[in-house]
Amino acid sequence: MKRHMLVLMLAVAVATCGAAAFAQASDDGAEAPRVTVTTVPSPSAASTPHQPTVRVKDIARFEGVRDNQLFGMGLVIGLEGTGDGRGSQANVQMVANMLERFGITVDREALRLRNVAAVMVTADLPAFVRPGDRIDVTVSSFGDARSLQGGFLLQTPLEAADGRVYAVAQGPVSIGGFNVRAGGSEVQRNHTAVGIVPGGAIVERSVPAEVLQGDRLTLILHEPDFTTAARVADAINRVFTPDTARALDRSAIEVRVPSIFMSQPVEFIALVEEIEVTPDAPARVVINERTGTIVMGHRARIATVAVAHGGLTVRVETEPQFGFLPPAEEGGAPTPVVVETTRIDVQEGGDVVLIQGGASVEDVVQALNAIGASPRDIIAVLQAIKAAGALYGELEVL
């Protein structure tokens, strides 16, 4: 405990006093642990109006810290007639197998189980969880069950890709909605064939994770970028010694653990995660044609182009007109009728807007809004500008 407190106090002293506290050599000529710390603001950590300053832990992770996917096949029981029907035989086979384990032999052809549903159970096993910890699981019907509302998941082993069981799930299923049928009418909220069991799986086996390899750590960027990798390495070197970190490629930064932190690597990792850096963002425009959503990065630029926005206005009007039908018999009275006349008016018009070279996102949006372009019109215009080679940035269509 005293050693732990000593390391923490030493880290605080380093952050306060800087490199001078450790630059002095001892009387016998042995060099003290070389940890250079400075509080001078780094250019790589200087925020801009468009790019905020963030912590390293928000844009990167340490290699070896990762989740693992688990899955299993189970049964949800206690449903109110909303389970699998005759078209699905998986629940029948699974129930018959379960009953045989209890010493009960039944005729599978005679089973009619509307209160049972066969499901797939999935979960993510986080890194560094220990046996006995609980994790959430997702339960999904793969038969023709209408709803899992009110169901209870029976004990289901969850396996990883290596075929070993790492957790066991069981508990009541929560679907966060409802599905009610009565008198031929149906009211449904949310998707009732998928639910979750909060904390429903107990971890039985932990996955070994190796973060420290010798005296080296590796940071992996969430969004690989050469500029961001160089800035992260520069920021770490400015806090510690100049040879502490180096960028290996656009996604990995190798970090050397100082000798003073070799016995307390967690404290060193915590210090690295709190270092602030300004990440770089590529010039990218993301559009979603299905929803009409457009997201444009501030670095996207447009060359000098002329944009023509032509629109068709179709107006459909229905006007009632009165008339009379000739009498059916000679000497009879005419029959009044009402006839609806439809008139279609089509107007075509368009404006031409000149966008100057080097225009920013704000300039483009204002210019397109000035001609009354809708989001979908702007999507078509941006695609045309990209095809013309006038959009300097990546155009991603979802």
Write a three-state SS string for the chain: CHHHHHHHHHHHHHHHHCCHHHHCCCCCCCCCCCCCCCCCCCHHHCCCCCCCCEEHHHCEEECCCCCEEEEEEEEEECCCCCCCCCCCCHHHHHHHHHHHHCCCCCCHHHCCCCCCEEEEEEEEECCCCCCCCEEEEEEEECCCCCCCCCCEEEEEEEECCCCCEEEEEEEECECCCEEEEECCEEEEECCCCEEEEEEEEEECCCCCCCCCECCEEEEEECCCCHHHHHHHHHHHHHHCCCCCEEECCCCEEEEECCHHHCCCHHHHHHHHHCCEECCCCCCEEEEECCCCEEEECCCCEECCEEEEEEEEEEEEEEEEEEEEECCCCCCCCCEEEEEEEEEEEEEEEEEEEEECCCECHHHHHHHHHHCCCCHHHHHHHHHHHHHCCCEECEEEEC
Domain boundary among the residues 203, 235, 259 is at: 203
Same structural domain, 220 and 198: no
Separation CA 197–CA 188 (nearest Å): 20
Which of 33-37, 242-246, 301-305 has the largest mean confidence? 242-246
Is 145 in the same domain as 240? Answer: no
* Residue 289 and residue 239 share a domain: no
The answer to whether residues 128 and 154 belong to one domain is yes
- For residues 175 and 221, membership in a common domain is answered with no
What type of residue sits at position 229?
A
* Domain co-membership, 193 together with 116: yes
5 assigned to some structural domain: no
Q: Which tokens in the block code for residue 330?
A: 């000679």
What is d(CA 179, CA 186) in angstroms, rounded to the nearest whole number?
Answer: 7
Res. 233 pLDDT band, cuts 50 70 90: very high
Which residue from 63, 67, 60, 360 is spatially nearest to 225, judged by alpha carbons? 60
Structure tokens at 134: 């609980």
Alpha-carbon torsion angle 101, 105, 109, 114, nearest 10: -60
Q: How far apart are CA 372 and CA 183, in angstroms?
A: 49
Do 251 and 359 share a domain, yes or no? no
99 and 191 assigned to the same domain: yes
- Enclosing domain of residue 260: 212-280
Asked whether residue 11 is domain-assigned, the answer is no
Average pLDDT over residues 134-152: 91
User: What per-residue confidence (pLDDT) applies to 7?
Assistant: 41
Q: Domain check: are 114 and 198 in the same one?
A: yes
Measured distance CA(87)–CA(106) in Å, rounded = 19
pLDDT value at position 398?
81
| Residue 54 within any structural domain of the chain | no
Inside any domain, residue 10: no
Q: Among 26-30, 171-175, 186-190, name the one with the lowest average pLDDT.
A: 26-30
Instruction: Please indicate whether residue 244 or residue 89 has the higher confidence score (pLDDT).
Output: 244
The one-letter amino acid code at 141 reads S
The pLDDT of residue 40 is 37
pLDDT in tens, 178-219: 666 555 555 656 678 899 999 999 999 988 888 888 889 999
Which pLDDT value is given to residue 270? 93
Sign of CA dihedral 125, 126, 132, 134: negative
Return the minimum-mean-pLDDT range out of 80-84, 174-178, 242-246, 253-257: 174-178
β-pair type (68-77, 178-182): unpaired
Residue 344 is predicted with a pLDDT of 46
Q: Are strands 284-288 and 394-397 parallel, antiparallel or unpaired?
A: parallel
Within a domain: residue 256?
yes
pLDDT for the residue numbered 237: 94
pLDDT, residue 164, reads 93
Q: Does residue 241 fall inside a structural domain?
A: yes
- The number of folded domains in the chain is 3
Domain check: are 381 and 306 in the same one? Answer: yes
pLDDT at 31 over 70: no
> How many angstroms separate the CA atoms of 229 and 254, rounded?
10
Residues 271 and 145 occupy one common structural domain: no
Last residue of a domain, one of 280, 301, 329: 280
Would 329 be classed as within a structural domain? no
Using the predicted structure, report yes or no on whether residue 347 has a pLDDT greater than 60: no
Q: How far apart are CA 367 and CA 361, in angstroms?
A: 10
**108 within some domain:** yes
Residue 32's pLDDT is what? 37
**Nearest in space to 395 (alpha carbons), one of 380, 375, 373:** 380
| Token pair belonging to 94 | 């699974």
Pair (232, 161) in one structural domain? no
